[in-house]
Amino acid sequence: MTSVGKASSVTVALLLLAAGALAGCAPEPSSSTPTPAVEQTPATPDPSPTADPTPTQTPTKAPETPSAFTESELVQICIDATNSGYDGVEFDAAGARIEKRTVTPEWLVLVPAQTNGYDAESACTIGGSPADPDIELSSASIQPLSEEQIQKLIRGEDEGGTD
């Protein structure tokens, strides 16, 4: 064989080898997804262990209280706590104002009312749970609170005594 023949034979052999190697990576016609010839590792490591088949749980937002109050429950608790402080009262539950406080108990509930021709307002601070509410302040007043007083109650300032 001449050197030209040897060179072309070597070139053909190398091309066949390269084509054979590339053919091993090609997907099989019956397979819809490619299958790697060797195990591939991802560029970034997987933080979960591969031996643990349990799915990972995504964190969920915790409720603000263990047993969260509904607005209507807070309003009714305040009405019940202050009803005896009035004579002939009519509460406006739909006009109630509920504020999240920065201290405990965590809720300030203001319920407008009418008593003996006067505008009135019940004010309560409520915590705990619907099954066991904690009422720290309950006030029945014929004078609605000023916005400044309401803001102080939200911050836990100048709360005075209970009942």
Give CA–CA dist 27/109, Å, rounded: 68
Q: pLDDT tens digits for the chain (163 residues)?
A: 554 444 444 444 434 444 444 444 444 454 444 444 444 444 555 544 455 544 445 444 444 444 599 999 999 999 999 999 999 999 999 999 999 999 999 999 999 999 999 999 999 999 999 999 999 999 999 999 999 999 999 999 976 654 4
Say if residues 41 and 89 touch (Cβ distance below 8 Å): no
DSSP 100-111: E-SSSS-EEEEE
DSSP class of 1:
-
Give CA–CA dist 120/111, Å, rounded: 9
Q: Is 84 exposed, middle or buried (0-12, 13-18, 19+ CB in 10 A)?
A: exposed
Q: Is the pTM of this model over 0.75?
A: no
